[in-house]
Amino acid sequence: MEFDAMKMHIYDMNEDELFYKSYYYARQQEYSLQKFLANLDMKDVLARKLLILEKKETVPLVFEDSFFFDLTDNNSIVVQRHNRYSPTFVHHHTFFELVYVYDGKCSQIISGQNITMHTGDVCIVPPEIDHSLSVFDESIIINIMIRKDTLNTIFYNFLNTNSILASFFLNNIYAKNANDYILFHTGTDITIKDAFLRMLWENENMEKYYYQCISSTLTLCFHLLVRNYEDSVQMPAFGSKEDVRRYALIRYIQENYRDISLTAIGNYFHYTPEYASKIIKETTGMTFSEIILRIRMEKAKEMLLNTNLTVAAIAEEIGYDSPEHFIRVFKKNTQTTPTTYRRNGF
């Protein structure tokens, strides 16, 4: 389907939506529901990954990466139109989910908080957050799923910006119990609207370089969101001074990972090195050494895939005293050498 044709047919109901609409109305009466359930072809339901609340085997409480992503390739972004009339239930997932209201409205419950979204709203829900999404009319919602483990590699340059969205991502990558969501209101912004439709078109058609087009367009959207709508962003307020401290700590480590030390962290936040170590463990679930290693490995992967820097230059850039030391650590953590990782593209 051509891009202009997608604009015309975006409101057409697909096969799954027709199924869900029948299911939705069947659930209005017990008799009609039982008749609907009796006529189900469960083999087809399971093959299509349809969700039937009365059939518990179809409803995962946790959506793992494998539900949406092909784990045999390196693609880490999936774009879909949300199926209207699909059943509402509380769940969480292992990836970031971006919800964009292309036209109309939808309701979300995030960690028990009711949120009504309207045309142009962009909401990002991080992993491990309980939420539900309701669309029971002709509204068009576009969902984008982004794998947590590869987000730092895909959006490396954006995550190094000093923006509220970059901080939101970083806090939810490295900290436990971070912000439950972030919500931007873009209204009738035609650039944002066309960008989301373009990403949906690329995902459905999968022409040459489609994935690169999606990731580049999404990066552009992130920059436009923080440039034009950061002042009106909606997100849960920090509940305590502990939340503020956690937010600042993650940002400081992310910005200074190359040559950071517990002593430097302690001096900056007025802690002893021992107390700084304790706070890092409580905040991230990792030791100081573990979080520094994780950040360095993620930065290295990004540079290997997206720059022409030599292995020696990358080692120096991310804080290793010699290329040999970097190569040993990289191989231990990825089971491959930096050169092989670059050559294979993952």
Helix axis angle, 210-229 to 190-205, nearest 10°: 160
Domain co-membership, 95 together with 213: yes
Domain co-membership, 214 together with 263: no
Return the pLDDT at 315. Answer: 95
Q: Which domain holds residue 280?
A: 241-344
Q: Which of 232, 253, 269 is the last residue of a domain?
A: 232
CATH number of residue 319's parent domain: 1.10.10.60
- Has residue 33 been placed in a domain? no
Alpha-carbon distance of 241 to 17, in angstroms, equals: 45
Q: Which of 203, 232, 261 is the last residue of a domain?
A: 232
Domain co-membership, 190 together with 269: no
Any bridge partners for residue 105, and if so which? Answer: 118
Return the pLDDT at 323. Answer: 93
Q: Write out pLDDT tens, residues 94-104.
A: 999 999 999 99
- Has residue 110 been placed in a domain? yes
Domain co-membership, 269 together with 288: yes
The pair of structure tokens assigned to 196 is 């989301």
Q: Which of 202, 232, 262 is the last residue of a domain?
A: 232
Domain co-membership, 275 together with 300: yes
Return the pLDDT at 8. Answer: 87
Domain co-membership, 77 together with 210: yes
- Has residue 80 been placed in a domain? yes
Return the pLDDT at 302. Answer: 84
Alpha-carbon distance of 4 to 10, in angstroms, equals: 10
Would you call 28 exposed, middle or buried from its count of C-beta atoms within 10 A (0-12, 13-18, 19+)?
exposed
Return the pLDDT at 73. Answer: 73
Phi, psi (rounded to 5 degrees) for 76: -125, 15
Domain co-membership, 214 together with 337: no
Domain co-membership, 197 together with 287: no
Q: CA–CA distance from 3 to each of 17, 172, 194, 197, 218 (Å)?
A: 21, 34, 10, 8, 17
Domain co-membership, 176 together with 277: no
Alpha-carbon distance of 238 to 242, in angstroms, equals: 8
- Has residue 70 been placed in a domain? yes
CATH number of residue 174's parent domain: 2.60.120.280
Domain co-membership, 225 together with 145: yes
Domain co-membership, 102 together with 138: yes
User: Could you say which residues of the chain have pLDDT below 50?
Assistant: none
Domain co-membership, 75 together with 209: yes
- Has residue 186 been placed in a domain? yes
Domain tally for the chain? 2
- Has residue 21 been placed in a domain? no
The pair of structure tokens assigned to 154 is 């895909």
- Has residue 268 been placed in a domain? yes
- Has residue 197 been placed in a domain? yes
Q: Write out pLDDT tens, residues 272-324.
A: 999 989 988 888 888 999 999 998 998 898 889 888 899 999 999 999 999 99
Return the pLDDT at 279. Answer: 87
Return the pLDDT at 54. Answer: 95
